[in-house]
Structure 1
Amino acid sequence: MIDPRTLREDPEAVRASQRARGEDTGLVDRLLELDERRRSAITRADSLRAEQKQLGKRIGQAAGEERESLLAQGKDLAAQVKEAEAEQVEAEEAFRELQAGLPNLVHPQTPAGGEDDYVVLKHVGTPPTFDGDPADHLDLGERLRALSTERGAKVSGARFYFLTGVGAQLELALLNLAVAQATEHGFQLMIPPVLVRPEIMAGTGFLGEHASEVYHLEQDDLYLVGTSEVSLAGYHSDEIVDLAGGPYRYAGWSTCFRREAGSYGKDTRGIIRVHQFNKVEMFVFCRPDDAESEHERLLAAEEEMLAKVELPYRVIDVAAGDLGTSASRKFDCEAWLPSQQTYREMTSTSNCTTFQARRLNTRYRDADGRPQPAATLNGTLATTRWLVAILENHQQPDGSVRVPEALRPYLGGREVLEPAG
C-alpha cells in the first residue's frame, strides 16, 4: 500500500499515477473522504477516552450526591466511548479495504499507456539467420526427446508437459548456472515453500486484479505461488530487518504455478505459456533510497545471464498500464524467438518501493533508530521458458542444438544435443 501521507499531501500525484495506469482516479477522492472520516473518528475516540480518564479521577475524589452524579455521567460517557471506538474501527477497516485496492505509485519515468506502449531501451546481440524456416522449440524438443506436451496433457491437462532426458538436464543446467551466478554476486540461495497463507499472497499484491491467476486450495486456505517472490517477500513479514550492513539479497529456486486465466488461444503450442514451471528469482530488501540502484543491479544480473546463454535480446521499460499492482517500475528482457520472428519476455525486474513492505509490515531502523517501511525488489534470473529461446536460437541444420559454452560444465561437457535416433 502507499503511504497515507502521500495520499493526503499530494493527492494529484496519486491521481496522475492512476491515470498513467488507466485506473479509476475517483478511488483517490473516495480514499481521501474515508481518511478524513477515519482521522475524525480517531480524534473523537481519543478525546472521549481522555475525558473519561479525567472523570475517573474526579469520581475517586468525590462523595455523596456529587459522586452519584459523576457516576451517572461516567455511565453515559462510557457508552459514548464505546460508540466512538466502534466508529473508529469501522472507519479504519473501510479505509484499509479501499486502500488495499490502490496500486503502487508509478515511477515518474515509467511510460504511460498499456501493454503496447513500452519503450525499448536497447538491443543486445544479433538474431541468427537460417537457410529456410527455423524449427520451433516444440519440434526441436521432440526430435531431441527433450519434452512431451502430449503426455503432459494426457496426465495433467492442457498447458502441462514433461521435460525428459536432455530437456530435464538442460533445465537443471540453466537453473544451476543461475544459482552459481546469484551466489557469486552475494545472493543467499533459498528453496522456499510454494504454498503460502492468504495474508502473504495478499501482502505482495497478487490477490487483487491478478487473483484469477492464482491457484487456491480451499480446504487448507493456502495459495500456490506463481513466483517465489511471494514466499521471499513474506520471509521477513512482521519483522524489523537490520539493513545497516546493506541490502538483504535472496535467490529463490522454486516451482511456480499459474492458472493462465484469460489466455486461452495464446501460445498454446509448446511451453511458452504453461501452468507449472521452475524459476530462480532474485529478491531484495533495502532502504528506499537504495531501491533504484538495486533495480539497476537486478537488471544487470539478468543481462549477464542472457549473455552467458548467448541469446539476442532487448530491454524494455514497461508501460504503466502493464505493471503489476505492486510495481512502481519494471524492466523486461525479451529474447529473440526465430520461429515467431519477434522478441518474447524472458525476465522481468520490478521496483516495488515500500508497497509490499507496508502491507507485510517489514521495516528497518533509520539513522535516528525509528522503524520505517523497507523497499522490496524482484527479478527473474532464469526460468523454464528460457529453454524455448535456447533451443531455437542455437539450432543447427541437422536438427541438433549447440549448447552455449557457459552451460556445458553443467551438462558433463556436452557441446551439442543430438536428435534421438
Structure 2
Amino acid sequence: MIDIKLLREDPDRVRASQRARGEDEGIVDAILAAEQTHRSSLTEFEQLRAQQKSMGKQVAQAQGDEKQALLAQTKDLAARVKQLQADADAAQASLGTLIRQIGNIVEDGVPVGGEDDYTVLETVGTPPEFDFEPRDHLALGETLAAIDMERGAKVGGSRFYFLTGVGARLELALLNMGIAQAVEHGFTPMITPTLVKTDVMAGAGFIDKHADEVYRLEADDLFLTGTSEVALAGYHADEILDLSDGPKRYAGWSACYRREAGSHGKDTRGIIRVHQFHKVEMFTYCRVEDAAAEHQRLLGWEKEMLAKIEVPYRVIDTAAGDLGGPAARKFDCEAWVPTQGRYRELTSTSNCTTYQARRLNTRERDPNGQGTRAVATLNGTLATTRWMVAILENHQQADGSVVVPKALQPFLGLDVLKPV
C-alpha cells in the first residue's frame, strides 16, 4: 500500500496518480477524512482512558457514600471507554480498507490511459518473411506431436493442454535456460509454493480488485498463485533485511494458475491464454533509491533472454491504467507472432517500489540511522510456456519442422524439431 504520510503531505500527487490510472481521485479526500476521524477517536479514547485510571486511584482512597458514587461513575466511564475503543478500532479498519484501494503511485513519465495507450520504447529485429503459408503454433505443435489441446480439454476442461514429447522438452529447456542465466547474474534459484495464505496474496496486491481472476480453495483458505512473485514477496514478510551489500535477487520456478475471468472468446486457440503454465520469475528486494536502476537491469536481463531465442520483439512502457495495483511502472516485451501479424506479450517487469513491502512488513535498517524503513520490490519474467508460441512460429520451415535457436540447443539436445 502507499505511504499514508505521502498522501497526507502531497495529496495532489496521489490524485494525479489516480487520474492517470482512470480511477476515483475522490478517495483521497475520503482517506484524509477517515484519518482525521481515527485520530479524533483515538485522542478521545486516550483522554478518557487516562481519566479512568485516575478515577481508579480515587476509588481506592474513598470510603462510604463517596466510594459508592465513584464506583457508579467508574462503571459508566468504563462503558464509555469501551465504546470509544471500538469506535477508534472501527475508524482504523475503515482507514485501512480505504488506503488499500489506492494503487501504487505512478512514476513520472508513465503514459496516461488504458491497455491501448502504451508507448513503444524500442523495436528489436525484423519479422520473418516466409515463401510459404506459415502455420500457427498449434498446427505446428500438433504436427510435431508437441501440444495436445484435445486431451487437455478432456482432462481439465477448456484452456488446459498437454505438452508431449518435444513440447515438454522444449518447455523444460526454456525454463532451464532462464534459471541458468539467472544464476549467472547472481540470482538464487527457488522452487516456490503455489498455494499461499490470504495475507500473502493480499500483501502482494493480487486480490484487492481482481479476486475473480485467481483460484481460491475456500475449505483451506488458500489461493493458487498466478506467478511465483506472490510467494517470493511473502518470503521475507515481517523481516528486517540487510541490503548493505546490494539487492537480494531470487529466481522462482513455479506452475502458475489463472482463471482468465473476463477473457471468454479471447485466444481460445492454442496456449497463448491458458489456466495453467510454468514460469521463471525474477524477484528483487532492494533499497528505494536503487529501485529505478534495478528495474532497468531486470529489463536488460529479459532482453538478454529474448535475444537467445532469436525472435523479433518490442519493448513498451505500459500505460497507467494497465499497471495493476502494485506497480508504479511496468515494461513489457512483446514478441512478433507471424500468423497473428502482431506483437504479443512474453515478459513483464514491474517496479513495485515499497507498495508490497509495506503490506508485508518487509524492512531494512535505515542507512541514515532513522530506525527501519520499507524496502522496494521488483519482478520480471525470464521464461514462460507462452514463449513456445514465438519460437515455433518464427523459426518454422516449409515442411513443418522448427529450427531450434542456437542458445537453446544445449538445453534441448536438438537443433531441429521434426514433424512426426
TM (norm. structure 1) is 0.96
1:65 shift after superposition: 6.0
Distance 1:65 1:219 in 2: 58
Cα distance in 1 for partners of 2:412, 2:112 equals 44
- What secondary structure is seen at the aligned counterpart in 1 of 2:145? coil
Q: Answer whether contact 1:205 1:356 (CA < 8 A) is retained.
A: yes
C-alpha displacement at 1:51, in angstroms? 2.9
**Does residue 23 of structure 2 align to residue 34 of structure 1?**
no
Once the 2 structures are TM-superposed, how far is the Cα of residue 66 of structure 1 from its aligned partner? Answer: 5.7
Contact 2:194-2:231 within 8 A present in 1 as well: yes
Summarize deviations over 1:213-237 as a string: whole Å, max 9, x none.
Answer: 1011111111110001111111111
Measure, in 1, the Cα distance between the counterparts of 2:40 and 2:372.
25
The answer to whether structure 1 residue 316 and structure 2 residue 316 are counterparts is: yes
In the aligned structure 2, how far is the partner of 1:7 from the partner of 1:39? Answer: 16
Residue pair 1:21, 1:112 contacting (<8 A) in 2 also: yes
Q: Which residue type is aligned with residue 147 of structure 1?
A: I
Determine the structure 2 residue equivalent to 1:189.
189
* Deviation of the 1:291 alpha carbon: 1.1
What is the SS of the residue equivalent to 1:350? Answer: strand
Q: Which residue of 2 aligns with 1:47?
A: 47
Give RMSD over aligned pairs: 1.5
Deviation (angstroms), 1:64: 6.0
Supply the distance in 2 between the matched residues of 1:74 and 1:3 (Cα, whole angstroms).
40
Deviation at 1:72, TM superposition (A): 4.3
Gap runs ≥5 in structure 1: none
Q: 3-state DSSP class of the match of 2:201?
A: helix
Equivalence for 1:380: 381
Deviation at 1:324, TM superposition (A): 0.7
Q: Which runs of 5+ in 2 are unaligned?
A: none
The 5 A counterparts of 1:114-133 are 114-133=114-133
After superposition, give the CA deviation of every residue in 1:179-223 in whole Å (9 maximum; x if it has no partner): 000011111111111011111111111112221110111111111
Distance across 2 between alignment mates of 1:106 and 1:56: 52
- Following superposition, the deviation at residue 14 of structure 1 comes to 1.1
Give yes or no for the alignment of 1:235 onto 2:235: yes
Q: Is the 8 A contact 1:133 1:339 kept in 2?
A: no
Q: Does 1:135 align with 2:100?
A: no
Asked if the contact 2:314–2:343 (Cα under 8 Å) also holds between the matched residues in 1, the reply is yes
The residue aligned with 1:260 is 260
**1:217 aligned partner, one-letter code:** L
Q: Give the corresponding residue for 1:397.
A: 398
Structure 2: which amino acid aligns with 1:388? V
**Cα distance per residue 1:329-358 (max 9 Å; x no partner):** 000000111111111000000111111111
Q: What is the aligned partner in structure 2 of residue 157 from structure 1?
A: 157
Shift of 1:84: 1.4
1:353 maps to 2:353: yes
C-alpha separation between the residues in 1 aligned to 2:253 and 2:3? 32
1:323-362 aligned at under 5 Å gives the runs 323-362=323-362
Kept in 1: contact 2:132–2:398 (CA 8 A): no
Deviation at 1:369, TM superposition (A): 5.4
Find the counterpart in structure 2 of residue 304 from structure 1: 304
Which stretch of structure 1 is more off in the superposition, 29-38 or 49-58?
Answer: 49-58
Deviation at 1:245, TM superposition (A): 2.1
Q: Which residue of 1 aligns with 2:211?
A: 211
Q: Say which SS state the counterpart of residue 333 (structure 1) adopts.
A: strand
Percent of residue pairs identical: 65
1 CA distance for matches of 2:66 and 2:109?
Answer: 68
Q: Whole-Å Cα distance in 2 between the matches of residues 374 and 58 of structure 1? A: 49
Deviation at 1:142, TM superposition (A): 0.9
